[in-house]
Amino acid sequence: MSFLVGLTGGIGSGKSTVAEAFVALGAGLVDTDALARQLTGAGGLALAPLQAVFGPDIVGPDGALDRSAMRQRVFADETARRQLEAILHPLIRAEAAARVAASAAPYVLLDVPLLVETGVQAYGLDRVLVVDCPEPLQVERVMARSGLSAPEVQAVMAAQASRAARLAVADDVLDNSGSPDSLGPAVARLHQAYLQMAARKAASPICG
Ligand code: ADP
């Protein structure tokens, strides 16, 4: 059974940047956002159950989920949001588990942007790594990346778990308030620690 590290952090905290640094050292990576896009893309497994609940028009002419129509449907409708999640989340978890099982890497990072919101227990994680930086830096980095305004970024952040809630579930915290270069040593230290933990788990008669 693979050693599984949940990777999370608020928007713009640097999750993708950190994930790339771990992959460069040999970690496996399963990106749940990418799985969600695949499941709702043309031919995706989530389309039929989503159409059964939300109607055929929720799929666009390109054969993929009409994401902006879906967003509008769930924006102010809590029941619709729960229905969407009840369809998507089990499919994402099943696909993620299959990818993790198929990975030959010594341990796997599972990138789950909304890990705290979804529930840390849902994924069978051995460890939770939170990428953290002060909120003003998140805003600045997302604005630079996306062209969104500060209030737009702040609105996304307000809909996500708070920084404190994320830090409360962390086994490990990676501080990304410095330069990208300063991430290297911290990532390398954690990578070594995860290799050791993975080896211990593999050797354990109970969990191996
Ligand atoms: P997330 O995946 O958490 O949304 P990203 O890794 O995409 O975050 O980072 C958000 C933006 O900030 C990207 O444009 C990225 O290149 C930049 N970035 C990430 N880490 C740093 C850093 N330490 N210093 C400056 N910019 C950074």
Domain regions of the chain by residue span: 1-27+106-203, 33-104
Alpha helices in the chain (DSSP H): 15-25, 32-40, 47-54, 67-75, 78-102, 115-118, 135-146, 150-159, 163-169, 183-203
Q: Is the pLDDT of residue 116 over 70?
A: yes
Residue 143 Cα to ligand 1 middle (Å): 11
- Report the pLDDT value the prediction gives residue 206, as an integer from 0 to 100: 66
Residue 3 Cα to ligand 1 middle (Å): 26
**Ligand 1 atom showing the smallest separation from residue 13 Cα:** 3
Read off the pTM. 0.93
- Report the pLDDT value the prediction gives residue 76, as an integer from 0 to 100: 82
Cα torsion angle, 188, 194, 195, 196, sign: positive
Q: Is the pLDDT of residue 4 over 60?
A: yes
Could you tell me what percent of the chain has a pLDDT over 90? 88
What would the CATH number be for the domain defined by 1-27+106-203?
Answer: 3.40.50.300
pLDDT, tens digit (0-9, with 9 covering 90-100), for 12-70: 999 999 999 999 999 999 999 999 999 999 999 999 999 999 999 999 999 999 999 99
Residue 56 Cα to ligand 1 middle (Å): 37
How far apart CA 85 and CA 24 sit, in angstroms, is 32
* DSSP-derived pairing of the beta strands 108-111 and 127-132: unpaired
Mean pLDDT, rounded, of the chain: 94
107: three-class secondary structure by DSSP = coil
Q: Is the pLDDT of residue 160 over 80?
A: yes
